Amino acid sequence: MKRVIAVIGTALTVAAFAGCGREQGGQSVANYEQQRKEAQAKGGVPKGATQTAAKKGEPEVKAGLGANEKGFTYVAEGKRDPFRSFVLEHAKDRVHDRGPLEQFDLAQLSCVAVVWNTERPRALILDPSGRGYVVSEGTMVGKSDGKVTSIGDNTVVIRETYVDYLGERTEKDIQMHVRQSQGG
């Protein structure tokens, strides 16, 4: 057994020293520059370097990472910019300034009181800081283009419009109830 291990060890040592010659593994910088000058004199450029168009009118072709295929051109006209925010693009479409109640989500607002058995029903809505706002039908409320559609005896119905990533609009009715006092 010891003899087999010794023979294998000797074979590996001989193989390691046999591979340690003084051969160069690649081109030196001087050799590369020499070959490049010769290729430029002949009219060609070595592989991996920038190639200039031989014929007039042809686009410059670069080899390597990010190289374009011959004849391909990208036209961005009519396409959405992938680096622009979808939300900000639709924010430009707004024609009016946002009111104070449009700065909050509906979950942050609370309905405190309702005046409902009149010609023009109204409700009192509180923002998170405790400020009260009187709203009526048609008042804009919430971040998602919410609009008060109806005011009942203890509810305010707000219709919000959502826009998904495809640009399709979806409407949803949300009811805010007047909080009843607890206990008694």
The whole domain housing 121 covers: 88-177
Domain total in the chain: 1
**What is the per-residue pLDDT across 11-44, written as a single tens digit (0 to 9) for each?**
666 555 555 555 555 667 778 778 878 877 876 5
Which tokens sit at 46?
Answer: 């070595």
Q: Is residue 135 part of a domain?
A: yes
Q: Which residue has the higher pLDDT, 9 or 168?
A: 168
Cβ pair 158, 106 in contact under 8 A? yes
Q: Which residues pair with 37 in a beta bridge?
A: none
Rounded to 5°, the CA angle 175-143-133 comes to 65
Q: Is residue 32 part of a domain?
A: no
Could you give the dihedral angle defined by the CA atoms of residues 130, 133, 136 and 141, in that order, rounded to the nearest 10 degrees?
A: -70
Q: Is residue 19 part of a domain?
A: no
Q: Is residue 21 part of a domain?
A: no
Whether pTM > 0.85 for this model: the answer is no
Q: What is the pLDDT of residue 131?
A: 94
Q: Which of 173, 172, 169 is nearest to 156 (CA)?
A: 173
114: pLDDT strictly greater than 50: yes
Q: What is the pLDDT of residue 52?
A: 45
Q: Is residue 143 part of a domain?
A: yes
**What is the per-residue pLDDT across 40-93, written as a single tens digit (0 to 9) for each?**
787 655 454 444 444 455 555 555 555 566 667 777 888 878 787 777 766 666
Q: Is residue 142 part of a domain?
A: yes
Q: Which residue has the higher pLDDT, 87 or 143?
A: 143
Instruction: Output the DSSP codes for the chain.
Output: -HHHHHHHHHHHHHHHHHT-----SS--HHHHHHHHHHHHHHT---TTS-B--SSTTPPPB--STTPPPTT-----TTS--TTS-HHHHHHTT--S---GGGGS-GGG-EEEEEE-SSSS-EEEEE-TTS-EEEEETT-EETTTTEEEEEE-SSEEEEEEEEE-TTS-EEEEEEEEEBPPPP--
Q: Is residue 44 part of a domain?
A: no
99: pLDDT strictly greater than 80: yes
CATH number (domain holding residue 145) = 2.30.30.830
Q: Is residue 40 part of a domain?
A: no
